[in-house]
Amino acid sequence: MRHVAVIGSGPAGYYTAEACQKAFGEAVRVDIIDRLPVPYGLIRTGVAPDHQSIKAVSKRYEATALSDNVRFVGNVTVGQDVSIAELLGLYDAVVLATGAPHDRPLGIPGDDLPGVVGSAAFVGWYNGHPDFAALAPALDGPGAVIVGAGNVALDVARILAKTEDEFAGSDIVGHALAALKPHGIRDITILARRGPHEIAMTPKELGELGHLRRATPLVDPADLPPADADAALEPGLRKSVSHLRAFAGNTPAAPLSIHFDFFAMPVAIEGDGKVERVIVERTRLDESGRATGTGETYAVPAGLVVSCIGYRTPPIEGVPYDAKQGRFANAEGRIAPGLYAVGWARRGPTGTIGTNRPDGFLIADQIAADTPADSAKQGRAGLDALLAARGTDIVTFRDWQGIERAEIANARTGAPREKFTSLDAMLAARE
């Protein structure tokens, strides 16, 4: 029997458990440990609430979650309730699937002013992450600036731009819906350091901006490369750029505009005690395709700034860390004997949910090669004894199903669920 502890119940964690089941069958026990009492990581707290078909992916993990040799151990923070050294003593393999939950800072003057938030916080707020339930973002307007040229920037713009009716069928949490309903934002500006050919925005997400009821996406035609240059792009990016070309034909229409400012990087955030404007420098691309400042600046009025420029994995005591990359130091997932990383904690914050699947299979192969088939380690019995001695309140998968049933029972009309947004409420909803 092999004993495996997976730290983190997001996609990378569940794909690792699934791969271990496939590799070892009945001869493995996997504990998926998560700091939250609810599973699925960013599928629950990152993926946009109005993208329910993507969130439904988590249902596919239930087959793994409900099998006898895999269990969920929620409400346990590794590095706090139990250490890595303790887990290595109990399990043959410890796999870090802790994601990259911290925002990469903007690193410009004024980025600590009230009104500046990172996307992990903002997205966590509208998605019911208990860490961010009390965020209260500045929604008075009239301006909001979003920094970044990827899909997270588009998610944030779309959530700010939608009417209450357009959230029908979503699982946006009640506190966010109530705050977004009356907001005073009229101009949303997306700042992208490089040009339309260098975006990391996918066609579906860009296309959605063209169908919003009260918002018009706008692109300055002067920012677009000559149309015949699109032919060299890969098909997905070409489709994205075709949406931008369509937006360049729009004219501003009340009440809300979404401006794409390309070749634009924020250099300072200014205001008297809170954000009032973002100072933006125009850029040009150098020969290697990197954006460099031109010295020409302009100001964008804003009461809210959301930075969507990437994430970092927080270090855990005893685990080698690559501070430059913001993730655990690893070679193809191997960190140290018996210690591995998968998903965003291994590769950094790129790729889709499915990109994490091969990671799980890679690590299962490595565990097969590195660990004995029959070990004398205690595995889950040892963890239970340790946590019981510390008085740690473990949440099981069955408990989570009780929490989920309560969320579904509490749903607004038409909504799939009303998420609990505090640990206490989650724990109280167990059956």
Ligand X SMILES: Cc1cc2nc3c(=O)[nH]c(=O)nc-3n(C[C@H](O)[C@H](O)[C@H](O)COP(=O)(O)OP(=O)(O)OC[C@H]3O[C@@H](n4cnc5c(N)ncnc54)[C@H](O)[C@@H]3O)c2cc1C
| Backbone angles phi and psi of 281, in degrees to 5 | -105, 135
Dist CA 79 CA 83 (whole Å): 5
Place of tokens 């929604």: 139
Q: Work out whether 79 is an interface residue with ligand X (CB under 6 A).
A: yes
Span interacting with ligand X, options 44-52, 222-230, 294-302, 367-375, rule CB under 6 A: 44-52
The answer to whether 192 and 261 are in contact (CB under 8 A) is yes
Of the residues 180, 265, 353, 362, which one makes contact with ligand X according to CB under 6 A: 353
150 touching ligand X, by CB under 6 A: no
Site membership for ligand X, residue 352 (CB under 6 A) = yes
Residue 42 sits in the site that holds ligand X (CB under 6 A): yes
Q: How far is Cα 407 from Cα 179, in angstroms, rounded to an integer?
A: 20
Q: What is the CA radius of gyration of the chain?
A: 23
Answer for which of 23, 51, 179, 392 binds ligand X (CB under 6 A) is 51
The pairs formed by 381-388 with CB atoms below 8 angstroms and a separation of 24 or more are 382/89, 382/90, 383/5, 383/31, 383/73, 383/82, 383/87, 383/90, 386/82, 386/86, 386/90, 387/76, 387/81, 387/82
Among 4, 9, 94, 261, binds ligand X (CB under 6 A): 9
Which CB sits closer to ligand X, 79 or 382? 79
Choosing from 4, 17, 32, 47, the residue that interacts with ligand X (CB under 6 A) is 47
Between CA 13 and CA 27 the distance in angstroms is 19
13 in contact with ligand X (CB under 6 A) = yes
**How far is Cα of residue 423 from the mean position of the Cα atoms in its chain?**
19
Residue 285: φ, ψ to 5°: -90, 135
How does DSSP classify residue 278?
A: E
Does the protein bind ligand X through residue 10 (CB under 6 A)? yes
* HSE value, Cβ hemisphere, 13 Å, CA-based, for 148: 24
271 versus 310: smaller Cβ distance to ligand X: 310
Q: Using CB under 6 A, pick the residue from 2, 21, 46, 141 that binds ligand X.
A: 46
Write each residue from 90 to 109 as x if it is in contact with ligand X (CB under 6 A), else as -, in one continuous string.
-------xxx-x--------
Q: Could you tell me the smallest distance in angstroms from the CB atom of residue 291 to ligand X?
A: 23
Q: Applying CB under 6 A, does 7 fall inside the site for ligand X?
A: yes
356 binds ligand X (CB under 6 A): yes
Q: Which residue in 213, 45, 196 sits closest to 128, CA to CA?
A: 45
Tell me whether residue 264 or residue 306 sits nearer to ligand X (CB atom): 306
Place of tokens 């920037």: 153
Residue 326 engages ligand X in binding (rule: CB under 6 A): no
Contact code string over 115-134 relative to ligand X, x by CB under 6 A: --------x-----------
Residue type, 20: C
20 in Cβ contact with 29 (< 8 Å)? no
In the list 37, 41, 150, 360, the residue contacting ligand X (rule: CB under 6 A) is 41
195 binds ligand X (CB under 6 A): no
Q: What residues make contact with ligand X under the rule CB under 6 A?
A: 7-13, 33-36, 41-42, 46-47, 51, 54, 77-79, 97-99, 101, 123, 152, 155, 316, 343-345, 351-353, 356
